[in-house]
Structure formats: C-alpha cells, structure tokens
C-alpha cells in the first residue's frame, strides 16, 4: 500500500468516531444496495401491520432511538471529549440505562428487581450511619480498593523512573538499533516483540503480570514501534494497532499462576467437584 493512501486510511480510522461512522456508512450502504438488488432479503413491513401513523409513529421511533443515542453519547462521547475515563463513563451509562429501562421497559419483573437493588443500596447507606460494624465493613472495602490503586500507581511511578534513566543513558538508541536490524523488517519486528511479550506474560508470570509489562516494557518499545510501523499503517494508527495487538497478547498473564486472575474467576463459578489443580 502506498504511504499516502495508508496515511489517509489511518487518519480516517484513528480519528475520534472514525471507526463507528465508517462502519455505520458501510452497513447503511450495504442495506440500501441489497434492498434494490434483492428486495426479498430485506422485506418491508406489511401494510396491514402498519398500525401507527403520524405523531404516534414518530413518538414510538423517538422512544426507541433517543435512549440509545443518550447511552452512546454518555459512553463514547464523554471519553472522546475527555471528561470521563472508560470506567467512569461505564458507571454513569449503567446508571442511566437502568433508570431508562425501569421507566420505559414493559417487563415488570425487570423493573421490580432493579428497584429492589437501588432500594437495597440506599438502605445499606442509611444503616451504615446507625450500625458501627457495617461502617467498618464499608471502610475496610474502601481501604482495600485504595491499597490496590496505590500499588498500581507506585508501579507506574517506578516504571516511569526506570524509563527516564533508560532514556537518559541512550538505551532507546541501542534498543532501536537492534530491533530495526532484525530479519524480516516489519514482520520480523512484530514476530519478535509478540514472542517476547508472550514469554514475559506466560513463562515469567511468577514475577511480572499485566501491569508491570504494560508500564515497564511498553514505554521502551513504543517509540521503536512508532518508527517501524508508521510507513506501513500511518503515524496516527501505528501505536493504536500495535497496542491492541500487545494487549491481546498480554492476556496470557491472566492464565498463569500465581497472578492468574482467570483461575480465580473460574474457581468462583466452578462446582466443588472441580479442583484448582484441574483449572491450572
């Protein structure tokens, strides 16, 4: 692919909303052409089934579109504009989605279950004011979350210090020289890096898990990946595709003990007859 066309394609794909808009246009164009070429594949609603007209039809369509559009904006819009992280956007969207579903859903059981859940949360908060043991339990939960968050933060601080020292002694130049001289060019670089990350994530999972690899190793190889992959997929998309590829690779760190979180997830849902050794 010529560099100019690759750059244009990468710019379109990596732009905010680019993939979504492009996919929507592809789907809409495909449906339109299919309706012209093979109308039987996308049949229209029979006339006898069209019971609504005018404002009643518009109202039903808007009630189906507006809640979905609001959810899409709350999740993707807030992340693209910057005020919310993916976690915060997901929490807000879950709350709004639940409220909308309770108000507009026709499933009575769904409404009752979510109403009970919200009332239970409110009741626990009120009871925590009265019961010291419950307050201590909630406090313990918050402290545990805080310790985990601080651990990850200090890993990030330590990895940043390591990266600064590594760059200060021209380690990036040495690393770039070796990685760019690998046999096979771009493909050789991708194969070597993925095998290296797989080795760290799986065979060295006793010492390094997803966070350490992401914070320590990736900052060192990201500039090299940007330089090697930019002529192929464009400067804007190079690190996006490279990052996604490595994230999929690093999921292997969730499989290996003792940091194999996937093992604990399976242990939580597996019957008692299934031993932990069987899961390993």
pLDDT tens-place string over residues 100-139: 666 666 667 767 777 777 788 788 888 888 888 888 888 8
Most confident of 63-77, 81-95, 177-191, 258-272: 177-191
Whether pLDDT at 236 is above 70: yes
Q: In the 3-class helix/strand/coil scheme, how is the chain assigned residue by residue?
A: CCHHHHHHHHHHHHCCCHHHHHHHHHHHHHHHHHHHHCHHHCCCCCHHHCCCCCHHHHHHHHHHHHHHHHHHHHHHHHHHHCCCCHHHHHHHHHHHHHHHHHHHCCCHHHHHHHHHHHHHHHHHHHHHHHCHHHHHHHHHHHHHHHHHHHHHHHHHHHHHHHHHHHHHCCHHHHHHHHHHCCCCHHHHHHHHHHHHHHHHHHHCCCCCCHHHHHHHHHHHHHHHHHHHHHHHHCCCCHHHHHHHHHHHHHHHHHCCCCCCHHHHHHHHHCCCCCCHHHHC
Give the mean model confidence (pLDDT) for residues 201-222.
71
When the pLDDT of each residue in the chain is averaged and rounded to a whole number, the result is: 75
Q: What is the pTM of this model?
A: 0.46
Whether pLDDT at 17 is above 70: no
- What per-residue confidence (pLDDT) applies to 277? 76
Whether pLDDT at 23 is above 50: yes
Give the mean model confidence (pLDDT) for residues 201-230.
74
- What per-residue confidence (pLDDT) applies to 227? 82
């Amino acid at each position: 692919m010529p560099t100019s066309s690759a750059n244009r394609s990468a710019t379109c794909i990596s732009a905010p909303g680019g993939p979504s808009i492009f996919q929507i246009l592809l789907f809409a164009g495909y449906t339109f052409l299919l309706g012209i070429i093979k109308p039987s594949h996308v049949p229209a609603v029979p006339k006898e089934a069209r019971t609504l007209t005018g404002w009643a039809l518009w109202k039903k369509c808007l009630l189906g579109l507006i809640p979905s559009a609001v959810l899409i904006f709350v999740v993707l819009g807030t992340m693209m504009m910057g005020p919310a992280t993916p976690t915060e956007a997901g929490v807000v969207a879950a709350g709004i989605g639940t409220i909308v579903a309770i108000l507009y859903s026709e499933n009575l059981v769904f409404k009752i279950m979510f109403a009970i859940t919200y009332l239970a949360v409110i009741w626990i908060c009120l009871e925590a004011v009265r019961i010291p043991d419950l307050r201590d339990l909630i406090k313990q939960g918050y402290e545990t979350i805080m310790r985990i968050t601080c651990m990850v933060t200090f890993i990030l601080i330590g990895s940043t210090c390591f990266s600064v020292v590594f760059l200060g002694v021209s380690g990036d130049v040495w690393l770039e020289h070796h990685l760019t001289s690998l046999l096979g060019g771009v493909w050789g670089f991708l194969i070597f890096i993925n095998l290296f990350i797989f080795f760290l994530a799986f065979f060295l999972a006793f010492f390094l898990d997803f966070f350490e690899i992401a914070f320590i190793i990736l900052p060192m190889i990201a500039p090299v990946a940007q330089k090697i992959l930019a002529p192929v997929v464009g400067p804007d998309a190079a690190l996006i595709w490279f990052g996604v590829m490595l994230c999929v690779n690093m999921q292997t760190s969730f499989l290996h003990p003792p940091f194999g979180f996937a093992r604990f997830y399976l242990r939580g849902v597996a019957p008692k007859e299934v031993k932990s050794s069987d899961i390993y």
